[in-house]
């Protein structure tokens, strides 16, 4: 890469699911990448293969505290994103979204960097508009068990837009719809990881509600490509941009697909629907297509096959016997 196009790029939450894939892509492009993570939900395993790269650096840091570095671009991905993780410590989740945004925006203002915010389709809540467009303001419970995440991300969007209007900061906001793929945490409680692990272990697949609620699933490689396009887009989007796969499927359908492609005999088991769980999720991505020339191109079946291979490997690794003490290796717990 020519020195004029090589950038110093900060990725907060860089050891997480999306963050690690983003770091990997940026390193491969030749940029100098600083991965920042407090490892609350991220894992060193996700970025271990990057540690020997001369243009990759890892820093343990919590974004609720200020960070003083010199960079050209900032991708702010730091925040637990699955209900199990963000509801475990809801106050910290809100602080990560709000204080983290303030600290990263302050850094961007100081060093005159463009900054990207990983927002979420959850800002739409239990949407009354379908599919969801960026001009829809949402239908969100501000005091429910999911509010720490939903409202935290909504507040972060407010801060980004106000820094843009008040300080002229160059910002990009991505409203990310359901994304899946390798490096998902096997116990994060999300649809694909839940169904995969249950199917591969021969356990019943847990459907919440009657299984007719829908989601739209985007493979991680497609999503990371959209992040980079949005960050480097010459035109100011003027606000948030939906990123996701507009192909909508029901929970029952994706459960049956995962059972079939894994060769599992697992039955389906229904449970009550969690509080404030949205009934439909389908992005209108016309803005992303117009601005970025982007549409996801990985089919659901292909993406699920790649994800199943990853989870099979995780399960196989966890069943390996531990090395014997004194045999030239330390005893560590299985991943």
Note every long-range contact of 56-63, with CB atoms under 8 Å and residues 24 or more positions apart, other chains counting: 56/23, 56/27, 57/32, 57/33, 58/14, 58/15, 59/34, 59/35, 60/36, 61/36, 61/37, 62/38, 62/96, 63/12, 63/13, 63/36, 63/38, 63/96, 63/99, 63/100, 63/103, 63/104
Dihedral sign, CA of 160, 165, 171, 172? positive
Q: Is the peptide bond before 282 cis (omega within 30 degrees of 0)?
A: no
Residues contacting residue 20 through CB under 8 Å, at least 6 positions apart = 14, 42, 46, 47, 183
149 catalytically annotated? yes
Tally Cβ neighbours within 10 Å of residue 7: 19
Set 149, 163, 180, 219: catalytic member? 149
Distances, alpha carbon 116 to alpha carbons 61, 157, 228, in Å: 18, 11, 10
| DSSP classification of residue 54 | T
Measuring CA to CA, which residue among 5, 8, 164 is closest to residue 71? 8
Assess contact for 1 and 26: CB atoms under 8 A: no
What crossing angle do the helices spanning 251-262 and 191-201 adopt, rounded to 10°? Answer: 40
CA Rg value for the chain = 20
* Token output for 130: 């379908």
Q: How far apart are CA 262 and CA 202, in angstroms?
A: 10
Measuring CA to CA, which residue among 56, 67, 173 is closest to residue 121? 173
Query: Catalytic amino acids?
Result: 149
């Amino acid at each position: 890469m020519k020195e004029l196009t090589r950038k110093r790029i900060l990725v907060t939450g860089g050891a997480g699911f999306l963050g690690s894939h983003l770091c990997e892509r940026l390193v491969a492009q030749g940029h100098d990448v600083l991965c920042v993570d407090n490892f609350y939900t991220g894992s060193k395993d996700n970025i271990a293969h990057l540690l020997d790269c001369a243009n990759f650096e890892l820093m343990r840091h919590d974004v609720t505290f200020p960070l003083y570095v010199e960079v050209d671009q900032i991708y702010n991905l730091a925040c637990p994103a699955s209900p199990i993780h963000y509801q475990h410590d809801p106050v910290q989740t809100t602080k990560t979204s709000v204080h983290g945004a303030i600290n990263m925006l302050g850094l961007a203002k100081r060093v005159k960097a463009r900054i990207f915010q990983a927002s979420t389709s959850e800002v739409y809540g239990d949407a009354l508009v379908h599919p969801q467009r960026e001009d829809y303001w949402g239908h969100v419970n501000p005091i429910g068990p999911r509010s720490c995440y939903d409202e935290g991300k909504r507040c972060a969007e407010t801060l980004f837009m106000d820094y843009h209007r008040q300080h002229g900061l160059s910002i990009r906001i991505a409203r990310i719809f359901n994304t899946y793929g390798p490096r998902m945490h096997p116990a994060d409680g999300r649809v694909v990881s839940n169904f995969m692990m249950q199917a591969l272990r021969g356990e019943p697949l847990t459907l919440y509600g009657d299984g007719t609620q829908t989601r739209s699933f985007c493979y991680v490689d497609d999503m990371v490509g959209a992040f980079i396009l949005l960050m480097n887009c010459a035109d100011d989007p003027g606000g948030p941009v939906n990123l996701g796969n507009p192909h909508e499927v029901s929970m029952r359908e994706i459960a049956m697909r995962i059972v079939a492609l894994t060769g599992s005999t697992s039955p389906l088991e229904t449970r009550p629907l969690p509080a404030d769980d949205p009934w439909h999720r389908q992005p209108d991505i016309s803005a992303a297509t117009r601005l970025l020339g982007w549409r996801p191109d990985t089919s659901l079946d292909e993406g699920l096959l790649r994800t199943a291979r990853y989870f099979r490997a995780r399960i196989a690794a966890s069943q390996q016997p531990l090395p014997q003490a004194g045999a030239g290796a330390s005893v560590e717990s299985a991943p």
